[in-house]
Amino acid sequence: MKFLVLADIDDFHWHGPTGRADVLLSLGDITDAVILEAAAAWQCPVLFAVKGNHDSEAPFPAPVVALHLRSVERGGFRFGGLNGCLQYKPRGAFLYYQEEVEAFLEGFPPVDVFIAHNSPLGVHDRDDEVHTGFTALNSYIARTAPRLLLHGHQHQERETRVGETRVIGVYGWKVIEIK
Show the domains of the chain with their CATH numbers. 2-10+19-177 (3.60.21.10)
Rg (alpha carbons) of the chain, rounded to whole number? 15
- Residue 57 reports pLDDT greater than 90: yes
pLDDT at 130: 81
pLDDT at 157: 94
Distance CA 24, CA 26 (A): 6
- Residue 135 reports pLDDT greater than 90: yes
Whether residue 63 contacts residue 86, with contact meaning beta carbons closer than 8 Å, is answered with: no
pLDDT in tens, 99-112: 999 999 999 999 99
pLDDT at 128: 81
Edge-to-edge strand order for the sheet containing 77-82?
71-74, 77-82, 113-116, 148-151, 165-169, 158-162
Least confident of 81-85, 114-118, 122-126, 142-146: 122-126
**HSE-up (13 A, CA, CB side) for residue 88:** 14
Handedness of CA 117, 121, 126, 127 (dihedral sign): positive
pLDDT category at 129 given cuts 50, 70, 90 is: confident
- DSSP-assigned letter for residue 62: T
pLDDT at 92: 86
What pTM does this model have? 0.96
Distance CA 138, CA 91 (A): 25
The average pLDDT across 58-87 equals: 97
Q: What percent of the chain has pLDDT over 90?
A: 91
C-alpha angle 10-11-16 in degrees, rounded to nearest 5:
110
